[in-house]
């Protein structure tokens, strides 16, 4: 019984760690691309003063976002918005590769841990690509539509 409680606590901690890592790496992807494009980006975590252009939010409160001080073209906005989901996709691929190269005798005990790490990553990918206001998908749609 106690062992089951500790196992549950371990997996819950993995979910929280995975979610935090996904948000951090996702926003770092936006930051790196904006910086490479010369947009003088700033990355913000847990600042609740306003909703940014590129943000991860829960109930419309941004948890992390990237701003840039230089105005960007539509193509730059598209590429910066796409960078975050690409980072999440690469993270999902790394987790899947780690699972595939785990020895068979260890897969039973490690399988759930990889699943717990992978699910928030997949949710981050899908939720960020949906073209709804406040998501990267919306920013990409807005950037593309501004070209026409």
pLDDT of residue 62: 56
- Tally the C-alpha atoms within 13 A of residue 68's C-alpha that lie toward its C-beta: 22
Residue-range domain boundaries for the chain: 2-37+74-145
Task: Identify the residue whose tokens are 């990355």.
Answer: 43
Angle at 68 between CA 61 and CA 88, to 5 degrees: 60
Mean pLDDT of the chain: 83
Q: Are 113 and 120 in contact (CB under 8 A)?
A: no
Q: Are 91 and 99 in contact (CB under 8 A)?
A: no
Task: Identify the residue whose tokens are 């899908």.
Answer: 126
Q: Dump pLDDT digits (tens) for 77-123.
A: 999 999 999 999 999 999 989 888 887 776 666 777 888 888 889 99
Highest mean pLDDT among 68-72, 92-96, 111-115, 131-135: 92-96
Which DSSP state fits 131? -
């Amino acid at each position: 019984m106690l062992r089951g409680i500790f196992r549950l606590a371990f997996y819950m901690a993995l979910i929280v760690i995975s979610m935090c890592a996904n948000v951090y790496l996702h926003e770092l992807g936006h930051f790196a691309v904006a910086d490479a494009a010369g947009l003088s980006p700033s990355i913000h975590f847990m600042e609740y003063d306003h909703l940014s252009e590129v943000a991860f939010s829960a109930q419309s409160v941004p948890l992390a976002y990237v701003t840039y001080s230089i105005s960007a073209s539509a193509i730059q906005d598209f590429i910066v918005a796409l960078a975050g989901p690409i980072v999440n996709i690469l993270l999902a691929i790394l987790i899947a590769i780690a699972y595939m190269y785990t020895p068979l005798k260890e897969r039973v005990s490690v399988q759930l841990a990889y699943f717990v790490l992978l699910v928030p990553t997949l949710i981050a990918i899908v939720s960020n690509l949906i073209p709804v206001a406040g998501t990267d998908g919306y920013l990409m749609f807005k950037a593309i539509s501004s070209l026409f």
